[in-house]
């Protein structure tokens, strides 16, 4: 009898859990729900592009992706974020004729960095980038490599800074070595 009561309790418990979890993922107002984004669009990795003269010399690596640019210099990481807005101030997904662009630029400054700081790309990704701007081939930049992460080696004494992509989010780790 106790076994039957326990089975009945567990069946009711898991049924309620299933109902509650399915309600939690439903949008509050289905009419205003955003269209689903295909999973193939979500899985695009963020790659670091080496600067081989296509940008200012102070930039060693950078990211350009979906309305954001991130520039990695010796003393800072500069973020440039932009979005398009319509006449009502609402964000829209693509640039349209006559629409405004909002831009936010800020930096994470690396204060008191080590004199032996070295920035390098690691884990070379497949593919290359080409910059063929203008008519002068001497100004073109071809076969520019892509990397999965950037390391600031010795950003501070016995400390490296690792930057990498985690499911579309830029992450960083300080790696501290023992003395």
Give per-residue pLDDT as tens, 107-166: 999 999 888 899 999 999 998 999 888 898 888 889 999 999 999 999 999 999 999 988
- Does residue 137 share a domain with residue 115? yes
pLDDT, mean of residues 89-107: 74
pLDDT (average), residues 161-178 = 91
How many domains does the structure of the chain reveal?
A: 2
Query: Are 111 and 23 members of one domain?
Result: no
Inter-residue contact 154 to 114 (CB < 8 Å): yes
pLDDT at residue 99, as a whole number:
67
- In DSSP notation, 111-166 reads TT--TT-EEEEEEEEEEEEEE--SS-GGG-EEEEEEEEEEEEEEEETTEEEEEEEE
- 106 plus 165 within the same structural domain: yes
Let me know whether 127 and 137 are in one domain. yes
Task: Tell me if 77 sits within 8 A of 69, measured CB to CB.
Answer: no
Summarize the confidence of residues 11-29 as an average pLDDT: 37
Residues 103 and 56 in one domain: yes
CA distances from 113 to 51, 71, 109, 177 (A): 21, 17, 10, 16
| The pLDDT value given to residue 93 | 66
* Residue 98 backbone dihedrals phi, psi, to 5 degrees: 80, 5
The whole-model pTM stands at 0.69
Residues 33 and 45 in one domain: no
Of the given ranges (84-93, 101-110, 168-177), which has the lowest mean pLDDT? 84-93
Are 6 and 94 found together in one domain?
no
Looking at the structure, tell me whether residues 106 and 89 fall in a common domain: yes
Give the pLDDT confidence score for residue 107 in this predicted structure: 93
* Shared-domain flag, residues 123 and 143: yes
pLDDT classification of 96: cutoffs 50, 70, 90: low
Could you tell me which residue, 10 or 94, shows the higher pLDDT? 94
CA distance 146 to 172: 18
Q: Which helix (H) or strand (E) holds 102?
A: strand 100-109
Task: Give SS3 for 38.
Answer: coil
Whether the pLDDT of residue 34 is over 70: the answer is: no
What span, in angstroms and rounded, lies between the C-alpha atoms of 174 and 47? Answer: 20
Comparing 104 with 29, which gets the higher pLDDT? 104
- Judgement on whether residues 54 and 120 belong to the same structural domain of the protein: yes
How far from each other are the two terminal CA atoms of the chain, in whole angstroms? 65
How far are the Cα atoms of 72, 100, 141, 168 from residue 49, in angstroms, in the given order? 10, 28, 12, 16
Domain membership of residue 120 as a residue range: 40-176
Per-residue pLDDT of 38-85, as tens digits, reads 444 445 678 999 999 899 999 999 998 877 899 999 999 999 988 877
Do 16 and 10 contact (CB within 8 A), yes or no? no
């Amino acid at each position: 009898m106790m076994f039957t009561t326990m089975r009945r309790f567990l069946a009711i418990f898991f049924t309620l859990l299933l109902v509650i979890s399915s309600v939690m993922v439903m949008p509050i107002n289905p009419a205003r729900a955003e269209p689903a984004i295909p999973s193939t669009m979500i899985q695009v990795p963020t790659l670091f592009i080496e600067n081989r003269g296509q940008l200012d010399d102070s930039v060693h690596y950078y990211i350009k992706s979906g309305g954001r640019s991130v520039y990695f210099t010796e003393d800072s990481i500069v973020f440039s974020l932009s979005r398009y807005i319509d006449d009502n101030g609402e964000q829209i997904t693509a640039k349209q004729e006559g629409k405004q662009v909002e831009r936010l630029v800020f930096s994470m400054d690396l204060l008191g960095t080590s004199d032996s700081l070295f920035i390098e790309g690691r884990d070379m990704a497949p593919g290359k980038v080409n910059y063929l701007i203008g008519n002068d081939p001497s100004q073109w930049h071809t076969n520019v490599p892509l990397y999965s992460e950037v390391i600031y080696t010795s950003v501070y004494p016995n400390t490296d800074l690792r930057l990498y992509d985690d499911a579309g989010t830029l992450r960083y780790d300080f790696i501290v070595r023992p003395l």
